[in-house]
Structure 1
Amino acid sequence: MKLLFLRYISNRSIGESLRSSILNTGIYVYDTPESLEEKVFYWFNEDEDKLLETVLIGYDSKERRITEGWIGTAEPVADDSLKIVIGGIKPLREEQIREIERLYVNASKYKKNLKDVKEYLFMRELPQDILYDILYDLKDSCVHNSKKDKVFKGDYTSLKKDDISFLVKEMERNLNPLAQRSYMAKRAIGMKKPDECRSEFQRDKDRIVHSKAFRRTVDKAQVYSTHKGDHYRTRLTHTLEVNQIAKGIARSLRLHEDLVEAIALGHDIGHTPFGHEGERQLDLIMSGKLKLCKDHNPENFGGFKHNYQSLKLANYVEEKYVECEGLDLTYQVLEGMLKHTKIKKCKGIDCDTCCNKCFDIDEFLIIGDKEKLYLNQPFASTLEGQVVAWADEIAQRGHDLDDGVAGKLVDINDLKEELKEYEFMSPIVSIIETSLDQIKKSKRELVDPGELLRARVTPKIIRLFIDDIAENSRKNMDEYLKTHEIKEDVMIDSELICFSKEMKKIVDKLEEVINLQVINSQEVNCFDGKSMYIIKKLFQAYYNNPKQLPDHTLRRIQRELKDMNIPTVDVRKGKKRDVDREILIFKGIICTENRKEDFLKQKTFMRNIADFIGGMTDNYANSRFKELYNGN
């Protein structure tokens, strides 16, 4: 959102004149320099109401710092193109002034500091959250804390050893000292008493398997469209493969298999229809980088990323309990789901400087304490979470090759010859050559030699990866135990689960070679292009006419606004005039006197559209697209 800055020297006569005018009349008339006349005309005419939120900065040239600040609303004088009237002026609090000062000296977003701008009148586009810090008193604000207040909190948010049954303790008795155990489980709500026969993490696994989000993964593409054939992987089949690989590694290292399974089964429930291209399109919209239509003013609402969305679905969107939203999973499972893809912390003022690689956790963790997700480290604080992250990597390398060969995008013989150019790839070359030789020497009549070759090569490569990561991780764990004291709550601050350096090099090269042939193929890119188009058109349809949204999405929007004490109009039952006006506020086209509430309405509206589209299966997204656009 754009903000007009008027800078003045507070320790000179202009500062005295400005203060006197404000204190006496509540307004200030600024004479624009002729050199800025064209810019000022453009700034005001860009805004429909010809009103601009304005910050007046009092800069002390001797002390070289901002000593005072004011906020107001500027508008041009009708018969004088060089005069601007700033009214409704109020002084800024000390903490608001310091927020401006932070922008004043930080060049990471603005290329040069505010103090290096030569003009005394200039525009800057600020993230909404920073803007509201400056413009409004946020002591009672919910702009930053729109997290849902829990009306219910159970007795089992944290457990003690005595809470766990003898049977469960026996099941966990032989685990590695670095493994998680049921008594370490922590939940945001924790209303259910520990089970006599199931570990805490098995309960999480069961909740995930019976969730709607998990069932939908059966019809969400991995890389190829599900229309291509039944033998290509979907999100569900990929998830089952990740689960199998992760369990194998966990058993080898004596880690908690129930926790590994829960994380593995839940890690991809936040994926959009049509694979990563659907995710990229939603992220462009939710990070303010894609204009949906002429009247749309893109804003950064925290982005969209499937691992963060998995967190939101499990933590808030899924319906299971009368008393609360979500599945009430343990933080150990939530963290593992979030970090199966490494998270990156933003180093700039906001996400515009980090290439869409960080996202606003507060937009996704609606219930709970983000401190318990250990966001200061990009990898999971449990070894079980680290295992799933690498199992996901192994599964992806396996099925990229397998599906590539099945789709005739990768030729095994050509791949072998290409990999021969790299001496360090000899283990993979050896697997391919051995498999080819075995098939060639087979004494039985083969129905489909190509199918058999795939069935031989892919599992052997996966086995190679699993053996290496298990052996290397076991060494790392043994060394860690020698140098660290193990506490009651095990929190690992090092990435102990990983490939050896030699194997990591092999894995990376295999990914590079296969990606060139599969991910960059015409077939995959045609599918991605169509996917991108459908997701964008669906969002446009719901943005332009929210009445096309299903009742449950509209009810969720209403409920979330009600939880923040923001009045809203029922889109289904309200009077047409009121509904039309409310929709314009949702879209950010018109504003009321309460800009803070307007912003929250807009954010809630956009986020719920993203949630609805993100939860669609491929078939449902296609059918909705045809229904909304008459099949065109």
Structure 2
Amino acid sequence: MRPHGERWRAAYSCHPGESRGRLHPEHPSPTRSEFQRDRDRIIHSTAFRRLTHKTQVFIYHEGDHFRTRLTHTLEVSQIARSLARSLGLDEDLAEAVALSHDLGHTPFGHTGEDALEACLASFGGFDHNAQALRIVTRLERRYAAYDGLNLTFETLEGLVKHNGPLLGEDGRPTERYRRHGIPPAITEYDALQPLGLSGHALAEAQAAAIADDIAYNAHDLDDGLRARILDPEELRSVPFLDGLLREIDAAGPDLDPSRRTHELTRRVITRLVEDVLDESDRRLRALRPISADDIRAAGAPVVAFSDAMAEADRSIKGFLFPKLYKHPRLMSVRLDAEAIVHDLFRKLTQEPRLLPEDWRQDLAGAPDAKLARRVADYIAGMTDRYAILEHRRLFGSTPDLRIA
């Protein structure tokens, strides 16, 4: 790898001048690359602003210092840019994928997504990646000539495939989509501009995907410790975390809890990033790709953890799932949040006249599937607080959603 800070572009990076273009052709910008334009359109979108008040783990009114979807997204984009720079990739494309990767998330974090998945079980289910694609290709209405943001092929490809191929070599959906099949939003767009659903995403999108893993591992630990839901000593059950805690205690045995938590967070990020760079460099040297298409056809990710760090990653997730995400204090809030989403969906599908006027258009006599998807689009776009306000407007009582 080249020294830190030195700008260079590898042969396998995606050059904006070689983009496959946009669904609706546009004149190039004299001042920005195609991927810079994508990044800017995402940042200026309504859906991006809404991330300010969407839950990461803790509901927004639990405190101003916990992550929201927006702060998480910014942290992911920073890590993605750092990885891209060190690996000689296009930083703007990596950033555009990182900034768009959570646009499709519902209010109340994964709880809201699970609730909408259940509500749409008879209509193809709900998938936040597919919802993000709907947002950037249909639901954003800012431009006179088209719906959506008209992003480049490469950004859309990265948005859809950053977690890996959607189809196996046999043409069947991969495990994630085995139950409902590929979401209609993806298949419908793929028919207009084929995204190569059986291939891997570009290295820039892979950098954004692994940056997401790094960010939420580190920052969910941070938020859980600061909320005093996680016990610092219980972290020692994860060998990787125990090793870092031993380093911290040896270097500063008298650190106050806040500084100790920050030291742990920064060391988790540093070790994970350094491991990704070393392992990715090893894989790229073995593959010897000379183009971005070589990355797509590699058959396996090129931006990845080593086997040892992948095990540490699994261990951290395995710790966080029962100790944080399923903690009794959070579960009571999750159940109430789930009820809000179910109530809203049921009420609005039964009485679509209650939808705002612009959301009711073309629904008279519409099939159930169209109505259900329209209501899901409306609910998925809500912030936490707007969902609570809508529930209060439509129902006699609304859960408080505060951690006991």
TM-score by length of 2: 0.89
- Return closer, same or farther for 1:487/1:248 CA change in 2, 3 Å cut-off: closer
Q: Does 1:528 align with 2:334?
A: yes
1:404/1:410 contact within 8 Å kept:
yes
- Return the offset for 1:499: 0.7
Q: Does 1:538 align with 2:360?
A: no
The aligned amino acid for 2:251 is Q
- Return closer, same or farther for 1:308/1:619 CA change in 2, 3 Å cut-off: same
Alpha-carbon deviations, 1:336-393, whole Å to 9, x = none? Answer: 2223344654999999x9786554333346556466322113x42x000111111111
Which residue of structure 2 lines up, in the alignment, with residue 159 of structure 1? Answer: none
Q: Does 1:313 align with 2:131?
A: no
Which residue of structure 1 lines up, in the alignment, with residue 298 of structure 2? Answer: 493
- Return closer, same or farther for 1:347/1:468 CA change in 2, 3 Å cut-off: closer
Which residue of structure 2 lines up, in the alignment, with residue 479 of structure 1? Answer: 286
- List aligned pairs for 1:132-151, cutoff 5 A: none
Which residue of structure 1 lines up, in the alignment, with residue 75 of structure 2? Answer: 241
Report the structure, 1 or 2, having the larger strand content: 1
2:12/2:292 contact within 8 Å kept:
no
- Return closer, same or farther for 1:474/1:222 CA change in 2, 3 Å cut-off: same
Aligned mate of 2:24, from 171, 180, 190: 190
- List aligned pairs for 1:411-560, cutoff 5 A: 411-416=231-236, 418-419=237-238, 425=239, 427-441=240-254, 449-481=256-288, 486=291, 491-494=296-299, 495-555=301-361, 557=362
1:339/1:389 contact within 8 Å kept:
no
Report the structure, 1 or 2, having the larger helix content: 2
Q: Does 1:609 align with 2:342?
A: no
- Return closer, same or farther for 1:397/1:358 CA change in 2, 3 Å cut-off: farther
Provide the C-alpha distance between the structure 2 equivalents of 1:206 and 1:489, rounded to a whole number of angstroms: 28
Alpha-carbon deviations, 1:195-236, whole Å to 9, x = none? Answer: 122111000000000000000000000111112111111100
Provide the C-alpha distance between the structure 2 equivalents of 1:409 and 1:454, rounded to a whole number of angstroms: 13
1:240/1:265 contact within 8 Å kept:
yes
Which residue of structure 1 lines up, in the alignment, with residue 45 of structure 2? Answer: 211
Aligned mate of 2:106, from 272, 288, 308: 272
- List aligned pairs for 1:249-328, cutoff 5 A: 249-288=83-122, 301-328=123-150
1:184/1:489 contact within 8 Å kept:
no
- Return the offset for 1:415: 1.6
The aligned amino acid for 2:157 is E
Q: Does 1:334 align with 2:156?
A: yes
Provide the C-alpha distance between the structure 1 equivalents of 2:130 and 2:98, rounded to a whole number of angstroms: 15
Which residue of structure 2 lines up, in the alignment, with residue 71 of structure 1? Answer: none
Provide the C-alpha distance between the structure 2 equivalents of 1:263 and 1:412, rounded to a whole number of angstroms: 33
- Return closer, same or farther for 1:389/1:349 CA change in 2, 3 Å cut-off: closer
Which residue of structure 1 lines up, in the alignment, with residue 401 of structure 2? Answer: none
Which residue of structure 1 lines up, in the alignment, with residue 221 of structure 2? Answer: 401
Aligned mate of 2:206, from 377, 386, 390: 386
- Return closer, same or farther for 1:523/1:347 CA change in 2, 3 Å cut-off: farther
Alpha-carbon deviations, 1:100-123, whole Å to 9, x = none? Answer: xxxxxxxxxxxxxxxxxxxxxxxx
Which residue of structure 2 lines up, in the alignment, with residue 226 of structure 1? Answer: 60
Provide the C-alpha distance between the structure 2 equivalents of 1:254 and 1:456, rounded to a whole number of angstroms: 29
Provide the C-alpha distance between the structure 1 equivalents of 2:211 and 2:85, rounded to a whole number of angstroms: 13
2:51/2:69 contact within 8 Å kept:
yes
- List aligned pairs for 1:86-165, cutoff 5 A: none
- Return the offset for 1:630: 2.7
- Return the offset for 1:491: 3.5
- Return closer, same or farther for 1:383/1:220 CA change in 2, 3 Å cut-off: same
Gaps of 5+ in 1: 1-172, 289-300, 420-424, 443-448, 559-568, 570-581, 587-600
Counterpart of 2:194 in 1: which secondary structure? Answer: helix
2:171/2:198 contact within 8 Å kept:
no
2:168/2:198 contact within 8 Å kept:
no
Provide the C-alpha distance between the structure 2 equivalents of 1:504 and 1:336, rounded to a whole number of angstroms: 22
Gaps of 5+ in 2: 1-6, 399-404
Aligned mate of 2:12, from 159, 178, 181: 178
- Return the offset for 1:429: 2.2
- Return the offset for 1:439: 3.5
1:432/1:457 contact within 8 Å kept:
yes
Query: What percent identity do the matched residue pairs reach?
Result: 32
- Return closer, same or farther for 1:346/1:464 CA change in 2, 3 Å cut-off: closer
Please tell me the root mean square deviation across aligned C-alpha atoms, in Å.
Answer: 2.6
Query: Which structure is richer in relative contact order (CA contacts within 8 A, separation 6 or more)?
Result: 2
Aligned residues: 391
Provide the C-alpha distance between the structure 1 equivalents of 2:100 and 2:59, rounded to a whole number of angstroms: 22
Which residue of structure 2 lines up, in the alignment, with residue 77 of structure 1? Answer: none
1:312/1:366 contact within 8 Å kept:
no
- Return the offset for 1:247: 0.9
The aligned amino acid for 1:460 is R
1:187/1:328 contact within 8 Å kept:
no
The aligned amino acid for 1:493 is A
- Return closer, same or farther for 1:198/1:287 CA change in 2, 3 Å cut-off: same
Counterpart of 1:268 in 2: which secondary structure? Answer: coil
Provide the C-alpha distance between the structure 1 equivalents of 2:252 and 2:382, rounded to a whole number of angstroms: 42
Provide the C-alpha distance between the structure 1 equivalents of 2:163 and 2:28, rounded to a whole number of angstroms: 30
